[in-house]
Amino acid sequence: MIKGGICGLGGRMGQAILRLLLEKGHSLGAAFEDESHPYLGKDAGSVISGKDLSVSINTINKDDLSNVDGVIDFSNTKAGLQLLDLMVEVKKPLVTGTTGFTDEEIKKFTEASKVIPLILSPNMSLGVNLLFKMTEIASKVLAGDFDVELFEAHHRQKLDAPSGTAKKLLDIIKENGPGLKDAPLVYDRSIKKEKRTDKEIGVQVLRGGDIVGEHTVFFTGTGERIELTHKASNRDIFARGAVLALEFLVNKEPGFYNMFDVLGI
């Protein structure tokens, strides 16, 4: 049994992770939120069921980390970096699903992985990670002769665009598609008024309603088209993957692991 910590417990993902953590027979050892959050000081159990878990929701602190085997973080970049520093100090595993980190900030995770085992993934869904792998395979085989475009859709409250998952898919396409390493991303064809080139990747973003998440990679050739699509209908799929990732990391040696490692693919 794992005693886990959750950073960002007041959010929808944090609450879903807590439910899944408990359903799998694990326990909660620490819960963190922003200093201005209305749940601050409340018992973590009150957030999802009213059941007393005897774990107070606090701001990020080193003392509470002594009560956990590892932490799952779905907060924001500022909190995520603060937590990262403390996890290195206490030398405990970290699973981060927070998106929006800059390239320089991601380098801090790379350095931290020399001290602790960690996973930084824009999407913990098992299905999305299979989409990553299928996109890698398709890019190697098709991208040289097929036009590549990407579409993603999320709820109206999402701040970043394109999504972290979409950026990961674009990285995979560029890394594996022949001649696409430096391909420009085209977000608005209305201002181009010219034919599509071979060495570009189109990106479309939709924001509206309560869409949990949808991603499609199009490989469009002459006379045929392949579409790789993943649609999320609830957040439990991300929570399930995050808990699985923490289970994987506990007792692992320091390193920068990924969801492919978790899935064994």
Catalytic residue among 26, 154, 174, 230: 154
Q: Which residues contact 148 (CB under 8 A, 6 or more apart)?
A: 139, 173, 177, 180, 201, 202, 217, 218, 219, 220
Is 154 among the catalytic positions? yes
Given 3, 108, 133, 158, the catalytic residue: 158
Radius of gyration of the chain (CA): 20
> Any idea how long the chain is?
265
- Name which of 242, 172, 217 is nearest 16 in CA terms: 242
26 tagged catalytic: no
Catalytically active residues are 154, 158
